[in-house]
Amino acid sequence: MMLILGLDQSITRTGFALYEYPGDERHIQCGSFSSKDAGDPEEKCELFARQFKRLVGPKDRRPDFIVWERARRRISAYPKKPNPDLLGLGGDDPAIWTVNADQLLLPEIQGIIRGEAISYRIPHESVPPATWRAAIYGKGGGKLSRADAKAQARAYCKALRIAAGNEDEAEAACIARWAATCSQKLRLLFAEAAA
C-alpha cells in the first residue's frame, strides 16, 4: 500500500486528499484549510507552510507520494475598475491593469510543497490542470471552464462515493486518483516497492 497525498492548493482554500493505493476510493480522506485570513502575502505563505507541514510531518501518517496541481506559468491581468471621476479629473483611465494577487502566490506555495517533499524525501510530482482533468473526466475534460471543472469534480466524487466536503477537496481527490491511475513516476515507484 502507498499513501498518496493529492492537493488542490491556493491561499483561499487548499483541498487535500489522502488515498491509500491500491484501495477503495470510498476511503479517500479529504480535508481543507485556508491561509487567506493571515495578514500580508508573506504571512499567508507562512501560514500555508505551517498547515501543510501538519499534513506531511507526522511519521505515522507521512505520505509516500505527493501530487499537486501545477501553478500556471502565466498570470492573468484584468483592466482595473475605474473609480468614479467625481471631480472631472480623468478617473476613467483604461490603461490601469491589475492581477489577482492570490495568483502571484501560487508559485511560492508550489515551492513550499516541493521544498517539504524534498526535505522529507517524499517522491512528488506536479500536474497541469488540463492534463489531470482530461485523464479523469475524459474527452474535453481538459478544456472545461473553472466553474464547470469544479462541478465535474463534485459529480465525480459523488459517483465514486468519496466524501469531499467542497469542490477543492473534490479536485484534490481527483488529482490523487490521477496519480494512482496515470502517473508514470508513481507507477515506477510502486513497481520498485513491489520488487
The pLDDT tens digits for 55-83 are: 998 888 899 999 999 986 665 555 666 65
Model pLDDT, residue 9: 92
Model pLDDT, residue 94: 53
Q: What percent of the chain has pLDDT over 70?
A: 83
Q: Is residue 119 a contact partner of residue 111, using CB atoms and an 8 Å limit?
A: no
Angle at which helices 41-56 and 101-119 cross, to 10°: 30
Q: What is the pTM of this model?
A: 0.83
Q: What percent of the chain has pLDDT over 90?
A: 51
Task: Give the helix/strand (H/E) hosting 157.
Answer: helix 146-160
Omega within 30 of 0 (cis) for the link into 22 = yes
Over the Cα atoms of the chain, what is R_g? 19
CA–CA gap between residue 182 and residue 137 (Å, rounded): 13
- 185 torsion bin: left (phi>0), alpha (psi -120 to 50), beta (else): alpha
The pLDDT tens digits for 96-117 are: 666 555 567 788 999 999 999 9
Q: What's the chain's average pLDDT? A: 85
Res. 52: pLDDT tops 90: yes
Model pLDDT, residue 178: 95
Q: How many residues does the chain have?
A: 195
The pLDDT tens digits for 145-175 are: 888 999 999 999 999 999 999 999 999 999 9
